[in-house]
Amino acid sequence: MMTQAPGGSPAVAVLRELAQGERRVALVPGALAPLLDAGYRVLVESGAGEAAGFSDEEYRAQGARVTGRAAAVGEAQVLAGVRGPVSETVTALAAGTVVVGQFSPATDPAMVTALAEGGLCAFSLELLPRITRAQSMDVLSSQATVTGYRAVLLAAARLERFFPMLMTAAGTIPPAKVFVLGAGVAGLQAVATHRRLGAAVPAHDVRKAAQGEVASLSARFVGPPGLSVGASPGGYTAQQPAGL
């Protein structure tokens, strides 16, 4: 059970992410109001939002208290993070603290062990069921959308030609042809972004439902002969024939 800090309301702490290259922050200033309205205090480590474009002053303006890392960890009843906390933070958290983030339990069992040994209550958001009630907490879909969009920007920057068809005084430049493998959340965002840039986009997926989704974006669905595009009775898609 989450305990309340002596003399005050329970605290939600947000720390600066320490993983190399990680620029995200678990809570942005605009998301603090519901927590404050529910009676929580919000503690933000100084500099936690800088890499994501949010200053300490913006957090203060929304009602958060900006403090040092040790103070935030020491007062936290809830710790919100993008990734799992580092070992020093796990050790410093009080037993019973609720930790929310993405812990990659399948590939980082040591993290799960450390959280359990510390007596912490952990919610790994990437394991939430992808159902209607949980859509607002679906971190996989939201980040896949960003991935698909950014992949197109990186491809456009590296390609040594234009994406759209251009008609110039020197002649016509045909549109670039881009093949998207996989038409899930990231793939469909990639298809849509490529189309906005004017590329010709065929796309492929093993799920039958993806054909209509690709077509809705004015792209062409393709697949090799013999490919099964149906879904299995109890799973995401059917296993493909050997040799494909």
Active site residues: 130, 135, 138, 141, 236
Helix, coil or strand: residue 183: coil
Question: Which pair of tokens denotes residue 239?
Answer: 């296993």
Residues in the chain, overall count: 244
Task: Return the beta strands (E) in the chain as ranges.
Answer: 11-14, 41-45, 65-67, 78-83, 98-102, 121-124, 166-168, 171-173, 180-181, 202-204, 220-221
Torsion angle of the four alpha carbons 161, 165, 170, 171, in this order, in degrees rounded to the nearest 10 = 120
Q: What's the rounded Cα separation, in Å, for the pair 176 and 156? A: 10
**Are 64 and 32 in contact, with CB atoms under 8 Å apart?**
yes
Q: What's the rounded Cα separation, in Å, for the pair 190 and 76? A: 39
**184: closest CA among 233, 230, 231, 148?**
148
DSSP for 31-72 reads G-HHHHHTT-EEEEETTTTGGGT--HHHHHHTTPEEE-HHHH
